[in-house]
Amino acid sequence: MSEKSKYVGVLGCGTMGVGIAIVSARAGFNTIVIDTQQSALDQAAAFADKFFAKSVKKGKMSAQQKDEIMGEKLTWSMNYDALDKCSFVIEAVFEDLEVKQKVFSQANESCPKETIFATNTSTLSITSIAAGSGRPEQVIGMHFCLPAQVMKLVEVTRGLQTSDDTFNRTVEFGETLGQVLVNTKERPGFILNHFIVAFNNDCIRAYENGLASVEDIDKAVKHGLGYPMGPFELLDYIGMDTQLRVSLALFNQIHDHSFYPPPLVKRMVDAGFLGRKTGRGFYKYGESGMFGT
């Protein structure tokens, strides 16, 4: 591994961004996290420190390893020029085509010409995102499974212009991160969201129609289907605003009613009941913040 290849950039430090940054830094990469708000960077850094502290407590790493990651491997910045050594840049901003194109366009001005741009999009076209990047042959999809710092799965997706070299380098990079990779076609929702978004919407409709309580639906899914989290626990984790945005993005492409968000989703968003990050969703939490408690 060359010295330059040891640098990874992450654009955006929300739920997905900080998780991806943890994965990258834990694998030994010097990881630069970029965001437009210092408060968001501070919150993400605090979450990463808390996560690694728990890893030390569980015996998964030493206190020295934690200090090295937080002190040397993770950098938090509002300046795109900090990406000037990165071999990979992973975009993890919210699901908006123009925003994703904009952050890649900004990164394009600061990154070396050989840098690969990976988008963590869960619903949008890789080809469309690449069109605004300035380097479409070097844009590829890397959709990490939520929560990225815990789950191993990554969906790798080529756009129409993605080069073979970009694909091969991305697979090698993903394996170095310690992730499990699956290759998907460029289709709305790829594998995971093609199933889970509609499933979560169906669970919300079942609750709206009085089939069972939130708690009992979660118990049934966990203990009957073997899921690690119930649908409402997962929705509180990802955020109802994200569920609304992703559902509409998929519905507008596929025109399948199962992807259209139930009325309760919009009402909860309007009420500010987004989940863990606001302290209340389908469940109540001790405090608001990136993930609540």
**Cβ distance 172 to 147 under 8 Å?**
no
Answer whether residue 245 shows pLDDT above 70.
Answer: yes
Report residue 289's pLDDT band, with 50, 70 and 90 as the boundaries: low
* Mean pLDDT in residue range 3-29: 91
pLDDT at 287: 62
Superfamily per CATH, domain 4-184: NAD(P)-binding Rossmann-like Domain (3.40.50.720)
Report residue 292's pLDDT band, with 50, 70 and 90 as the boundaries: very low
- Residue 184: count other Cβ atoms within 10 Å of its Cβ: 17
Sign, Cα dihedral of 271, 15, 96, 180: negative
* Mean pLDDT in residue range 63-69: 96
pLDDT at 252: 93
Question: What are the structure tokens assigned to 224, written together?
Answer: 């009957």
**Catalytic one of 120, 133, 155, 233:** 155
**Catalytic one of 24, 120, 143, 194:** 143
Q: Which residues pair with 12 in a beta bridge?
A: none
pLDDT at 94: 87
Question: Could you confirm whether 122 is annotated as catalytic?
Answer: yes
Report residue 5's pLDDT band, with 50, 70 and 90 as the boundaries: low
Return phi, psi of residue 75, to 5°. Answer: -125, 140
Q: Is 76 exposed, middle or buried (0-12, 13-18, 19+ CB in 10 A)?
A: buried
pLDDT at 146: 84
Domain with CATH 1.10.1040.10 in the chain: 195-278
**Catalytic one of 24, 108, 193, 201:** 193
pLDDT at 293: 41
- Residue 113: count other Cβ atoms within 10 Å of its Cβ: 8
pLDDT at 23: 98
Least confident range from 2-6, 27-31, 47-51, 125-129: namely 2-6
pTM for this predicted structure: 0.89
DSSP E strands, 79-134? 88-91, 116-119
Among residues 122, 127, 132, which one has the least CA distance to residue 102?
A: 132
Question: Could you confirm whether 255 is annotated as catalytic?
Answer: no
DSSP state of 138: G
Answer whether residue 228 shows pLDDT above 70.
Answer: yes
What would the CATH number be for the domain defined by 195-278? 1.10.1040.10
**Catalytic one of 87, 122, 125, 201:** 122
Question: What are the structure tokens assigned to 285, written together?
Answer: 């939490």
* Mean pLDDT in residue range 208-215: 97
Distance CA 156, CA 163 (A): 13
Domain with CATH 3.40.50.720 in the chain: 4-184
pLDDT at 74: 97
Question: What are the structure tokens assigned to 218, written together?
Answer: 């979660």
* Mean pLDDT in residue range 70-99: 95
* Mean pLDDT in residue range 51-72: 96
pLDDT at 1: 46
* Mean pLDDT in residue range 140-146: 95
Question: Could you confirm whether 193 is annotated as catalytic?
Answer: yes
More confident residue, 14 or 9: 9
* Mean pLDDT in residue range 248-268: 95
DSSP state of 81: G
